[in-house]
Amino acid sequence: MADQVFGEMRTYGGWRRKRGLGFFGLSQIESGVAFIIALVFFIILARARVILIPSAIVTFLALGSMARVDGQPVWQVAWIEIMMLRSAAAGGGTFRSGYFSGNAAGSGDDLPGALAPTRTYAVQTDARRPYGVVYNDSLQTATVTWRVHPHTPHLADQEQVDVWVASWHQFLASLGYIDQIAHLQVTVATATEPGAVVAENLAASRASNAPALAQNLLNELAARENSGTTVSSTFISATFDTRYGPAAREKDPAVRIQHVVGLVTAMNQDIRTSGLASASLLTVQELAAQNKGAFVPSLRKPLVEALRRGDTSALQWHISGPRMAESNRYYYRHDEAITIAWTLKEAPRGHVTEEVLYNLMSPGTFPKRVTLTWNPTPAEKAARILENERTMNEAKRLVKARGMRDESARDEYDRQATEMAAADEARGAGLGDFMISVATTFEVSPDITDEQIDSLIDRASVEIESRAKQSKMLLRPAYGFHDAVLFSSLPAGINPTVLN
């Protein structure tokens, strides 16, 4: 019986760490540079032994800097560390809102960091329903966000779940045919609410003329949920690069955005078939509320009530950031809250079920935001990229075979995965890069000590990293980039993989 159930279970896989097409995991440019450096060293060894020792040191440092640390070259990791130290020494990690400080001396933009060049525009769907677009003046990108309510797979047949997953895959694959698409982000935000808030929400939603049976059921539910409950929200953000397409030469951002409206309309229809019970585009006021609630968790409930009442005069994008913020290597502090973040270090090996991320995304002790960033590869480039990888892997295998060396299990699996990916792409599958990041935010008092902050960080790290391992993946702390990861979970279209 167990074998029959296991045989009917659908699994998914085929992803792997992105590596260069050169030898030893280097990129093609790095492989060429390494060859030239080695060639120059051997020439010096043969003809100019006077400078042998200095050239040997330079060669060792140059080739050693190309080694990988968590998939990144050593020289890049060292450069990032140097830039972080320079920024900290110059006070670059401190932000003071120009709006809330009245543009006082030492203040900056209204929004911090990568959010500074963003602003919102209000547009309408074909049905005359308004929604908001976040435009980035620096990157010239336009982002729209849907609030979605996914179907739960626990109450559906496996055949229906397979249809939802296939529809979602088809939707992601179709993004490779859209020239203007930059990336897609899916964010699942979870938090806990105390029992008093649950009872208050039930009382607010109770009708005065409700039947006695319904009144008793609500009273019983309020008394039972005195320990609190969990809340979960899911958002999908699509970011378009307005430097491509028919409006690329237009100077006015409003004109560029109007050319994106047609793409949003088409995606608004396609996205609803991917296992979603509902999907609605966020308005400008809702975008501002989501932004403000992420920076100031204590305002989440008042913001929801303000949207419910229609009192949205204070919900403006340019004032939806923190009053003050400070970023360092270990955390990001904004107003009376602290955010720590992690990024994907190693994806699940082998094949997994559709519920592989359930443990990571499910609510825990600390509020968190889990974000999947999908960078689609243009369809016309996907076949060439996979064919180049396939050719390079086969060349590596032949070189090892001629050297009488056996192919490692990792190399064999990588070669087989590349061949499978090339075959899937030929049948219409999409290709792209993805990243998973987690940001957890907790409120703190203004006089909190460094020891207490370290204790909170340790507790949050144990919980998040253990949940990631339950989801068969490894995470690493986003040292120095906690603010960028938090920004990427907001409906602003910030992609940390392309930030300088």
Task: Report, as an integer, the average pLDDT of 76-92.
Answer: 75
Task: Report, as an integer, the average pLDDT of 87-96.
Answer: 75
Residue 246's pLDDT is 81
Share of the chain above pLDDT 70, in %: 88
Residue 204's pLDDT is 66
Residue 299 reports pLDDT greater than 60:
yes
pTM: 0.84
**Residues 412-425: tens digit of each pLDDT:** 777 788 888 888 88
Residue 5's pLDDT is 44
**Residues 181-227: tens digit of each pLDDT:** 999 999 999 987 654 555 666 666 677 777 888 777 777 776 666 55
The 3-state secondary structure of the chain reads: CHHHHHHHCCCECCCCCCCCCCHHHCCHHHHHHHHHHHHHHHHHHHHCHHHHHHHHHHHHHHHHCCCEECCEEHHHHHHHHHHHHHHHHCCCCEEECCCCCCCCCCCCCCCCHHHCCEEEEEEECCCCCEEEEEEECCCCEEEEEEEEEECCHHHCCHHHHHHHHHHHHHHHHHHHHCCCEEEEEEEEEEEEECHHHHHHHHHHCCCCCCCHHHHHHHHHHHHHCCCCEEEEEEEEEEEEECCCCCCCCCCCHHHHHHHHHHHHHHHHHHHHHCCEEEEEECCHHHHHHHHHHHHCHHHHHHHHHHHHHCCCCCCCHHHCCCCEEEECCCCEEECCEEEEEEEEEECCCCCECCCCCHHHHCCCCCCEEEEEEEEECCHHHHHHHHHHHHHHHHHHHHHHHHCCCCCCHHHHHHHHHHHHHHHHHHCCCCCEEEEEEEEEEEECCCCCCHHHHHHHHHHHHHHHHHHHHHCCCEEEECCCCHHHHHHHCCCCCCCHHHCC
Please, which pLDDT band fits residue 288 given cuts at 50, 70 and 90? very high
Residue 282's pLDDT is 94
Residue 92's pLDDT is 67
Residue 439's pLDDT is 96
Task: Report, as an integer, the average pLDDT of 33-50.
Answer: 75
Please, which pLDDT band fits residue 115 given cuts at 50, 70 and 90? very high
Residue 306's pLDDT is 86
Residue 203's pLDDT is 66
Share of the chain above pLDDT 90, in %: 27
**Do residues 323 and 100 lie in contact, with contact meaning Cβ atoms separated by under 8 Å?**
yes
Across all residues in the chain, what is the average pLDDT? 82
